[in-house]
Amino acid sequence: MRSVVIDAPGSVRVDTRPDPELPGADGAVVQVTATAICGSDLHFYEGDYPIAEPVALGHEAIGVVVETGRQVRSVRPGDRVMVSSVAGCGHCAGCGTRDPIRCHSGPQIFGSGLLGGAQSELLAVPGADFQLAAIPDGICDAEALLLTDNLATGWTAALRADIPVGGTVAVIGLGAVGLCAARSALFLGAATVLGIDPVRRRRERAALMGVTPAEPPTTAAAMELSDGRGVDAVIDAVGSDTTMADALNAVRPGGTVSVVGVHDLQPFPFPALPALLRSITLRMTTAPVQQTWPQLVPLLQSGRLSVDGIFTTEMALDDAAEAYRAVAARSGDVVKVLLTP
């Protein structure tokens, strides 16, 4: 099969690898029909994470089941499915909450070296009854792909931000996750969502979705909006030292900072005393993907929540190197790339 791999920072290619084998009696093999590049994939591309050997990339995939183990009950060959980007064993009490982050064996992420990469023609999926869900009627490919990661992450970020109805929220970073978080915050009752990004075209794109655009730093925009008090909540979809420090300064006393941006491997110098004196709540998480599906699928089917405009570009899997260069440029024209094997 063909699979997108990275050998070194900035060095992405399409490799030919052996077809994956069925990963146990509870597993499945999925033929990938669409996959995508996530902002967190750039941590490998830009050298934030070490690469000891070629890594098969990608953790967002939808496709068709081609083989299942004898214990799999929820899907069968021929079913169109979405694959949760975060995997759990599917059998423990933690996974019983539908949150793979709580898996007693520890969560795993596709495309990080431990499991196969989703930017491939075929993907081996352990714990298929937990990781896979049939794509519901009325859900298009783009929506299904976003349900595997970005929309689930943005939605969770907004839920965990304690947004008061009629409140103010700042979203840092207007990539796919940030745009999903902004739309979720508006849906959950925020009166004003500040969209913070240094790229003008990204701010313009967010403005079309009802977001109030602003340039960084977040603190300056938040203080101007709130007459110096700070916004009720900040969602950080970037996760760098700069953005997290900015978020903690921009939120009002008693407010919440919700971080879903992926940090690098270096420690963050957390300002503990100011956060304590201002009674700031800090929450950090990757998405409990499976837990979000019962909430998000009906909202998408009904049209109450829209993800139109999140995907900006579609390319062939063989053009992955070009696609990664385009995503890494962080322009306003290429926000989210869909890859088709």
CATH 3.90.180.10 fits 2-149+288-339, yes or no: yes
Q: Quick one: fold of 154-284?
A: Rossmann fold (3.40.50)
pLDDT for 332 beyond 90: no
pLDDT at residue number 113: 81
The domain ranges of the chain are 2-149+288-339, 154-284
Contact 274, 268 (CB under 8 A): no
Burial of 243 (0-12, 13-18, 19+ CB in 10 A): buried
DSSP 219: H
pLDDT at residue number 52: 83
DSSP 129-151: HHHEEEPPTT--HHHHHHHTTHH
DSSP 278: T
* Calpha distance 310→331 (Å, rounded): 13
Smallest Cα–Cα separation from 12: which of 231, 328, 320?
A: 320
This prediction's pTM? 0.96
For 251-308, how does the pLDDT look when each residue is reduced to its tens digit (9 = 90+)?
Answer: 999 999 999 999 988 999 999 999 999 999 999 999 999 999 999 999 999 999 999 9
Task: Give me 336's structure tokens.
Answer: 């989210």
pLDDT at residue number 58: 97
* Calpha distance 233→189 (Å, rounded): 12
Characterize the bridge pairing of strands 251-259 and 231-236. parallel
* Calpha distance 151→272 (Å, rounded): 31
Section 49-53 average pLDDT = 88
Rama region for 190: left / alpha / beta (φ>0; ψ in -120 to 50; rest) = beta
